[in-house]
Chains A and B, each alone.
Chain A
Amino acid sequence: MKPAAFRYHRARDADGAVRLLAELGEEAKALAGGQSLVAMMAYRLARPRHLVDIGGLRELDRLRTDADGALRVGALTTHHTVERAPDSLLGPGFAVVRETMRWIGHLPIRTRGTAGGSLAHADATAEWCLLAVALDAELHVLGPHGTRRIAAADFFLGPYTTALEPDELLVEIVFPHPAPYAAVTEFAERRGDFALASAAVVLDRDGGTVRGGRVALGGVGPVPLRAAAAERVLADGGTFAECARAAADALPEEGRGAAYRRQLIRTLVRRACEEADAR
């Protein structure tokens, strides 16, 4: 279908975009890469009266690793820019972020779609959302009254629902801690489709010994979730297979496809553990 009519506004800077969003109210939406929003508008699932195009805000298209080790990703950085980033911008501690990009859609989606757009759209199985939860990202948000920081754990409220106000822009995603022993894996029915389920594992290693780690799962709940039971197994020195079983066992046993999903998670968590450990 053709999208419903709207008024187009091109933002010149982030402050201007926020002012415009505040002035136009609920009828307005920010437009970044358009890879979710334009499709939703074509289905008429979204029919905003105003679009504020932030796609030209080059100051939000940036990627760097700070002296303190944190990775900072501007909201308008495309999946493709991250996928092709050299080590000088995205150090070895964040190779997992670069490698996860290949799971997102296809090349022509990744050349347009942005990190900020993915997080703001908040699909339950979006790779950026899983990374944000697994790596404890901090989301920097600009509103009419200045900036605020939201922890990834508090950002996702439900499917397609975040802590962002309609007049707020996500401007930067900060991954505070390098994660050299980390991996993301997922399963989709076809390459490039949204995942049925996904798993991210970040291991704490001391020399060759695993001391613990973080396990996050996508596709098992309304938002990406940490798997506390699986993390306990890692902290207690359990095997990867035991960790994977704990992640699966914590999922519901009843409901459509529950057994299949548990099986999938068990396989994905074990694979992610092994890949993370093999780095």
Chain B
Amino acid sequence: MSDHPPDLPLTEPADAGTDPALERQLLVLDVNGAAHEVLCEPRRTLVDVLRHDLGLTGTHVGCEHGVCGACTVLLDGRPVRACLLFAVQAEGAAVRTVESLSDGRELSDLQQAFADHHALQCGFCTPGFLMLAEGFLAERPDAGRTEIRELVAANLCRCTGYQPIVDAIHGCATARRAVRREN
């Protein structure tokens, strides 16, 4: 915005007292199985509520407009972009974040597969890929490599070159299938 006068703020000065759009609303969100009350403006996205209001900083935020997938969480079991969802839209749905994958002592099988296959380097993208894969495998437990390759195109990773991520998800799916056959 080069034509913007430098002495003016980029956002309109707004006063919560006079501007009804800035009023905060009380939300009840179901996150990782617990009910949370949050008081926030309607424009607050789910990813911002998770990170800033609930302190769940496992979910990352990159682009804030739906392109990178760093913010992927599960909504009623399905992967969604938490930056393209206002928190108020998530009321009544079950939200799951990366914090739900393990109890903090032991990694989940999917997380362990990422570690085993070196599917992370800097780790910025990892929570997003984990939740993408978690939601996907729940629905498509029998998916093969081709489908997994298509899936991971959803998220950006600048480090790994994707191959180890495909290997990790495929490895986890294969191990789960073996367990299922045994039972």
Contact = CB atoms under 8 A, between A and B. Distances in A.
Given A5-B41, A7-B21, A108-B69, A190 B88 contact: no
Contacts of B155: 106
Interface in B83-103: 83-86, 88-89, 92
Contacts of B35: none
Chain A at the B interface: mostly helix, strand, loop or mixed? loop
Contacts, number: 101
Given A43-B65, A107-B154, A38 B136 contact: no
Chain B CB within 10 A, most for which of A8, A34, A51, A107: A107
A256 to B, nearest CB: 25
Contacts of B48: 2
A177 interface: no
B154 A39 contact: no
Contacts of A84: 139
Interface residues of A, number: 35
Contacts of A55: 89
B42 to A, nearest CB: 4
B59 interface: no
A7 B41 CA distance: 9
A107 B89 CA distance: 19
Contact of B42 (A7, A35, A43, A192): A7
Given A3-B43, A34-B89, A8 B69 contact: no
A267 interface: no
Interface of A: 1-8, 10, 31, 34-35, 38-39, 41-43, 49, 51, 53, 55-56, 80, 84, 102, 105-109, 111-112, 190-192
9 contacts: A3-B45, A4-B11, A6-B42, A8-B25, A42-B64, A42-B66, A107-B136, A108-B80, A111-B75
